[in-house]
Amino acid sequence: MSMHNEKSIIIFNRRIPLSAEAGILLVALVVYLTCAVCSSGFQHPDEHFQILEFAKWKLGEGTPQAMAWEHVAKIRPTLQPVLAMMIIRSCMWLGMQNPFHQAMVIRMLTGLVMLFSMSMFIKAAKRRVTPQHQNALMVATLFFWVMPMIGVHFSSEILSTACLLFLLSGLLRPEQPSIRDALWMGFVAALGFEFRYQVAFAYVGILAWILAVGRYRWQIWCAAAFAFLTVVALSTALDSWFYGRFVFAPYNYYYMNIVKHVAAAYGVSPWYTYFLQLAIIPSLALGVPVLLSVCIGTFKHYRNPVVWTFWTFLLFHSVVSHKEARFIFPLMPLLPLFLVWTYEVILHELSRFVSFVVVGLLALVNVGGLVHVAFKPADNGKAVMMQYLCERASEQKRYLRVKVYGGNDPFRTGPLISQFYLWQPVDVEEVWRSADAGEDFDVIVLQRRDLIDRKRLLAEGYHEVYCSMPDWQNVLNKFYQTYDSERVLIAYEKK
């Protein structure tokens, strides 16, 4: 790290206090915890139904209506649901019975784990950038606006990402790892695998890099393999306990999704989809520079393990026919490193003014994204609508009668019911026209796109009592596209 004296460091040719790193981490902590509190709900149904509902079922409180097909097929690793069980039990022991508060605690803990893993990765990756850009790498990685949005959610993609960052932080060290380091790397690699099997695509690149570039001693291989296989064996025992009979979940997952092509039944996409999504997910204003930086950074740093990991993960996922944007979330915290590498390459080709304008515009886009995701609920706000209805039922101390229009039941995703959140007496009935709702209800829920029915309700004396997303978020969403604003839920009641 470049230092002017014992009390300052230099970043982008500016001298700032040595405590800047601590200040950056403190601000990041506030941002991530704020996002954890506000980001109620889940980004994708798997995050909820294959983790929290699994945990609730094992705690003896679940129902078949809340269980996904993966439970019957026994293909889901259960380490994460068991961790959720432990946190939920701890919350209940402390008197926290509200499931929305329990889920918030889980998100806060997830955000702390993600922050720690990113900090470890940044500390190791700093050695691969010039001294004056090391704190820029820290800021770019921690505050890349996509990261708080996804990094606080207790999903398999995010916990496997944290493990991958821990693993890369060990590989980025200039010296050969010790036996102790190898045991740690094998341990976190196995945890990442048990959180999400597809992280093995990244491990292919890591193994190839070790063989071609790292040239680790055979003792290191043996120690890492021992730790990895031990964790997999213990996780198999855990899976067998959870499902009630012996299972080897990785094989079940392979058999159902690859041999029987169950995953492909949920849709297939062309091979280049993920390359487009790398540009679309952070918004095109940031995504296009990101794609360019990946190309430039790969060319200049082709011997770096991050590059090998990035490309094998991306290419292997591109071969698999079923694709979802969340599958490449583990690549998101790696992108800022490519951006800094690219900045270093083109820095001498740009004037100071042009460089300032480009960086300033990208930073402005990123700050807008941070404001957008830090204060919004997950997806279209379905969970905050569930929370509102449960709180209304609790206040009334009786069943809350709710009519939902046209498949807008916030407690239901397809055929599955969110039993975890349904902790108050809420009676939901579905109607397909607001005119058919009758009068025997307390609240009716529609989507923002149901404009004609919303106007009819207003004309009949109803008024809006709750909306799952504030209007200012809908304005920002026109640019960042993190949810479908037409699916925002609105609750009405009679005046």
CA 74 to chain centre: 23
* Residue 344 near residue 129 (C-beta atoms within 8 A): yes
Q: What is the pLDDT of residue 21?
A: 83
Residue 280 exposed, middle or buried by CB count within 10 Å (0-12, 13-18, 19+): middle
Compute the half-sphere exposure of residue 319: CA atoms within 13 Å on the CB side of its CA. Answer: 8
Give the CA dihedral 480, 270, 296, 351, nearest 10 degrees. -40
Q: Which run of H or of E encompasses 402?
A: strand 400-405
Q: 336-378 pLDDT, tens per residue?
A: 999 999 998 887 677 778 888 888 999 999 999 999 999 999 9
Separation of alpha carbons 187 and 191, rounded Å: 6
Cα-based angle 354, 358, 363 (whole degrees, multiple of 5): 145
Name, in order, each residue with C-beta under 8 angstroms of 267's C-beta and a sequence gap of 6 or more. 322
Q: What is the pLDDT of residue 5?
A: 44
Tokens standing for residue 64: 């078949």
Name, in order, each residue with C-beta under 8 angstroms of 345's C-beta and a sequence gap of 6 or more. 296, 300
Query: Residues 294-303: contacts with CB within 8 Å, 24+ apart?
Result: 294/335, 294/338, 296/338, 296/341, 296/342, 296/345, 296/346, 297/337, 297/338, 297/339, 297/341, 297/342, 298/338, 300/341, 300/345, 301/128, 301/341, 303/213
Tokens standing for residue 194: 């048990």
Name, in order, each residue with C-beta under 8 angstroms of 444's C-beta and a sequence gap of 6 or more. 402, 403, 404, 405, 434, 437, 457, 462, 491, 492, 493
Q: What is the pLDDT of residue 258?
A: 86
Residue 265 exposed, middle or buried by CB count within 10 Å (0-12, 13-18, 19+): exposed
Q: What is the CATH architecture of 382-494?
A: 3-Layer(aba) Sandwich (3.40)
Cα-based angle 132, 344, 206 (whole degrees, multiple of 5): 100
Residue ranges, comma separated, of all CATH 3.40.190 domains in the chain are: 382-494
3 state SS of 324:
coil
Q: What is the DSSP letter of 398?
A: S
Name, in order, each residue with C-beta under 8 angstroms of 301's C-beta and a sequence gap of 6 or more. 128, 307, 341
Evaluate if residue 4 carries a pLDDT over 50: no
What CA–CA distances, in Å, run from 230 to 162, 186, 194, 201, 204?
20, 9, 12, 20, 20
Q: 147-183 pLDDT, tens per residue?
A: 999 999 999 999 999 999 999 999 998 888 999 999 9
The model's pTM is: 0.92
3 state SS of 335:
helix
Tokens standing for residue 206: 């890591």
Evaluate if residue 65 carries a pLDDT over 80: no
Separation of alpha carbons 227 and 225, rounded Å: 5
Answer positive or negative: Cα dihedral of 477, 158, 62, 262: positive
Tokens standing for residue 6: 């014992």
Q: What is the pLDDT of residue 1?
A: 39
Band (2; pLDDT cuts 50, 70, 90): very low
Tokens standing for residue 189: 């690699």
Q: 358-368 pLDDT, tens per residue?
A: 889 999 999 99
Tokens standing for residue 436: 């058919």
**What is the secondary structure of 97-133 as a DSSP string?**
--HHHHHHHHHHHHHHHHHHHHHHHHHHHGGGS-GGG
Q: What is the pLDDT of residue 356?
A: 84
Name, in order, each residue with C-beta under 8 angstroms of 233's C-beta and a sequence gap of 6 or more. none
Q: 80-129 pLDDT, tens per residue?
A: 999 999 999 999 999 999 999 999 999 999 999 999 999 999 999 999 99
